[in-house]
Structure formats: structure tokens, C-alpha cells
Structure 1
Amino acid sequence: MHITDKDVIYEDNHYIAINKRAGDIVQVDNTGDKSMEDMVKEYLVKKYQKPNGAFVGVIHRLDRPVSGMILFAKTSKGLDRMNRLFHDRKVSKTYLAVVRNRPPQSQGTIKNWLLRDRKKMITKAYDREVKGGSFAQLDYEVLGEVEGYTLLKVIPLTGRTHQIRCQLAYMNCPIVGDNKYGYPRGSLRRTICLHSRALTFIHPIKEEPIYIEAALPMDGFWEKFNVLL
């Protein structure tokens, strides 16, 4: 596995954005599979002929079965400043999710307290404050339907582990393929229909507005939803 020019959707002196394939891991885990962090390093070393290696900083993460836009830092200065933007919630994240059950309203806000079950490696949602839990909020909008599936635009206003997956399932709208959160069957490719669509922020070094958008995967299913975008 490696990254090519067609996977890169944005690059400047400080950052590089990749359209992640569902199934790729962002950082090394106990599987020993090659990580995107390492793939980006290899790409930069080859592209810019850096025999001593390249700096790559992980700014945010996407779950392994999720596809779409992910941003890496190419400099320590870029990493520090972008981390600050994420911490201060000055980065707007947009996701697309495909669900089978249409939400009760065409648009709305979901608010929960989320508690991580580290033994089962899942997140549980509650409608009240719970000890050890974290408040989570997201906005969603129905973009339309294709062949009985509903496409949602989702904007998480907080950044919790498995937040979108957990909160949509709490609304009885589990993401297609996400049997970990209640969808009746998993994908044979171990992917789910959740796509990191875009990031919007003010560049912390160049101080100009940035909008980065990732095209939908070309996997025979996601293409159906391009007509709704």
C-alpha cells in the first residue's frame, strides 16, 4: 500500500491532505499493518528526494473503516498551530453518512453524553449526564434518498471517539455496514458508509481561508450518491 499523487487533495509548505481509503489505518496499531503516517512519509521522501526522511505530524484521526479527508502536518510549526485550532474548535468538519433508516426530521441536532467502554471498544450514548462521560453534539441534514438508502450531511460540533457512529445509532439510524453500532450486517470489506467530506479553517500560518473537500470513494456504491451533492 502506498500514496500517489491522485490521493493528495491539498498540499502547501506546512500541510498535506489525503483522501483516505476505507480500511487504511492512520497510525500503527497492534495489527502491524502499514499506517497512513508511514505512507505519507514515504510519499514526501520520494517526491522531494529527502534522504534523511520527512517530518509528518498526525493532527486528527479517522476510524479504520471510514474514508475521506485527513490532514497531516509537514512541519512541527504547522502541527502545533493546527493542533491549537482543533483544540479551540476553530476547524469545521463535514461528514457524509449513508443510513437505511431515515431520521424522523429532515434536519436536527443530536445531544448526548458519551461513555467509552474500553473493554468492548465501543462508545455508548446517554440522554443525561453520566459519570466519566463527555458531552457530544452534532448537526445533521438529510440530503436525499437513493434506492432506499438515505444520505446525511453530518457536522460534529465536538470531537469524541466514534461520536458520529454512536449518535446516529442512538437515533436509530446506524450507518450502513456498521454492525458494531447496530447495523444488521457488516461489510465484507470491513468498511462503513461514513466519509470525511471536508475541512474548513483559517490557515494558521498563511492566515487565509482554506476549504478542502474529498471526493466520494469509487467503490460501486458511493457513486450512486453523487447526484445528491
Structure 2
Amino acid sequence: MEAGPLRTSGHPAMAILYEDNHLLGIEKPVNVPTQEDASGDPDLLTLLKEDIRERYRKPGNVYLGLVHRLDRPVGGAMIFAKTSKAASRLSDAVRTRRFDKCYVAIVRGLPPLQSGKLTDTLLKDERTNTVSIVPKGTPGGKEAILDYRVLGSSPQEGLSLVRIKLHTGRSHQIRVQFSQLGCPLYGDQKYGSAVNKPGEQIALWSLYVGVPHPVTKEPVDLVSIPPRLYPWNLWEDVVYSQIAEDCTAGWDGGF
């Protein structure tokens, strides 16, 4: 296990959450695309490959396998495979749902239930890069399932803190499903433009990623606490730390 800053040639510093010969776990900065997209902006995958090449003085191409993604405006824990064998085994963990992902989000309003399961069918429009909820059985639609639990609310701000466990990893899944619930994420311009202002940073964070190590089979637990910025600072760090401890211990928190 290793923690520290990772510098990427003038781009935002990233914390290394875990690294060995097989895996690289980092804290993704907000507003950096996970992989190359139409914007042409520097992407995380390319930046990390460049860093590995420089740190280890590797000639030629550097292998780094992308096994899960975070939306561009979302920050937090991510894990990458440094070998093709590790990538294959992590992908298998994703398929068999042994790849645990826990998010925290701050949403507008208060969800109708203290905890619940959201199950929908999502359809992505690649042309507009937007996702909509469609009837089950719609061609191209994919099932999306998550569990959530409300951890606190701030009536004066009209905001609630929720913990989210994904069972599927669909594009924009959390954002779309909570918007449909009537509680769009704070700062989400795409699925909550009616209640969010331009310039607000989306309040969605990858707090925890857990997976069996592809070689040793020992648990690998990555934890990333949200920054002490509004609206995250409406709740103390101890709240986020407790969520992380519960995730690491394998507790479902009442889901």
C-alpha cells in the first residue's frame, strides 16, 4: 500500500491510493475525462501512462488497463490494471459483481424513503451523450440497479447526503436515477438544470472501491474522502470516514 502525490506534467496532482506490480489505485481529480474523448482535453488514462513511463523509465508503450470509469465531473477512488492478466481478472470481478463500488452524493431535496433500491432501464443517446429511463424491454436499454441510504439532511440548504452502492455500472446511472426520483444531484447541469446553477461542481464522489487482488486474492480497499468544499463540508470528515470503514468491513449499512 502506498499513498502520496502523483505529478502529471503540469496537470492536477493525484494521490496514489495503492500501487504494486499489478494494480494502480489513484484519486481521480474532478473535470478530467477518464479516457480520450471528443474534447481533446488531457485524459486520465494517458496522463497515468505518461507518469508510469517517467517514474519507471519504461521505453515504448506502457500498458494500463481501464476496467471501470467515472464521469468527467466526478472525482474519487479508481483502480487500473498494470498487466493484461490483472485487467482480465478485474473485468471478471466486475462481471461477477465482486467489484464493490460505494459513492457518496449530495442531492437536492430529501428522498422519499430513508433507504431503498432503484431499478430502471436506461438508454443512452450517443449523439447527445445523455441517458434516459425507458420501459423495460426497450431495444438497447440496459438494466440499472443501485441501493441508497440517506445519511443526513440540511433543511436550511435543501440538501441531503446519500450513500450509494452500485450493482451495475451504467453511464450516468446515479445522476439519472436520482433525477427521476425527484432529487437531482447538486451541481448536475445535465440532469438537474432546473434547480442547479451553471458553475456548480457536481457533488458525486467515488468514496470506496474494493476488489480481490488479481494475483494474491487478498482484498484491496481504496478510500477517497471528498474535499472540504461546499457542499461536502456541510458534513464532518468523520461521517465520510465512517462510511469508508463500513465499506472496508463489508457492512451494507442497512441496504
TM-score of the pair, normalised by structure 2: 0.82
Match for 1:118 among 106, 126, 129? 126
Report the Cα offset of residue 118 of structure 1: 2.7
Map of 1:212 onto structure 2: 222
- Identity value in percent: 36
Deviates more, 1:64-73 or 1:114-123: 114-123
CA RMSD, aligned part only?
Answer: 1.9
Match for 1:141 among 149, 165, 182? 149
Call closer, same or farther: CA 1:66–1:186 in 2, change over 3 Å.
farther
Distance 2:47 2:166 in 1: 27
1:185 aligns with 2:179: no
Secondary structure (helix, strand or coil) at the match of 2:92 reads helix
Report the Cα offset of residue 51 of structure 1: 3.5
Report the Cα offset of residue 215 of structure 1: 1.8
1:2 aligns with 2:2: no
Distance 1:172 1:43 in 2: 42
Secondary structure (helix, strand or coil) at the match of 2:190 reads helix
Match for 1:27 among 17, 20, 35? 35
Report the Cα offset of residue 42 of structure 1: 1.9
Q: Deviations over 1:137-170 (max 9, x none)?
A: 1100011124432111011111211111111111
Q: Deviations over 1:163-203 (max 9, x none)?
A: 111111110110011121124224416x3111111112211
Map of 1:174 onto structure 2: 184
Distance 2:60 2:12 in 1: 19
Call closer, same or farther: CA 1:124–1:79 in 2, change over 3 Å.
same
Distance 1:76 1:57 in 2: 7
Map of 1:153 onto structure 2: 163
Q: Are the aligned partners of 1:16 and 1:73 in contact in 2 as well (CA < 8 Å)?
A: yes
1:43-122 to 2 correspondences below 5 Å: 43-122=51-130
Higher relative contact order (CA closer than 8 Å, sequence separation 6+): 1
Map of 1:163 onto structure 2: 173
Map of 1:40 onto structure 2: 48
Report the Cα offset of residue 126 of structure 1: 3.6
Task: Flag as ranges the 4+ runs of structure 1 deviating above 3 A.
Answer: 1-4, 126-129, 218-221
Q: Are the aligned partners of 2:12 and 2:29 in contact in 1 as well (CA < 8 Å)?
A: no
The amino acid across from 2:199 in the alignment is L
Q: Are the aligned partners of 1:3 and 1:39 in contact in 2 as well (CA < 8 Å)?
A: no
Q: Deviations over 1:23-61 (max 9, x none)?
A: 001111121111111111122122222233532111111
Q: Which runs of 5+ in 1 are unaligned?
A: none
Report the Cα offset of residue 130 of structure 1: 2.6
Deviates more, 1:26-35 or 1:216-225: 216-225
Q: Are the aligned partners of 1:67 and 1:217 in contact in 2 as well (CA < 8 Å)?
A: no
Q: Are the aligned partners of 2:104 and 2:204 in contact in 1 as well (CA < 8 Å)?
A: yes
Secondary structure (helix, strand or coil) at the match of 2:42 reads coil
Report the Cα offset of residue 96 of structure 1: 0.7
Q: Are the aligned partners of 1:144 and 1:228 in contact in 2 as well (CA < 8 Å)?
A: no
Distance 1:153 1:187 in 2: 25
Q: How many residues align?
A: 227
The amino acid across from 1:170 in the alignment is Q
Secondary structure (helix, strand or coil) at the match of 1:22 reads coil
Q: Are the aligned partners of 1:98 and 1:151 in contact in 2 as well (CA < 8 Å)?
A: yes
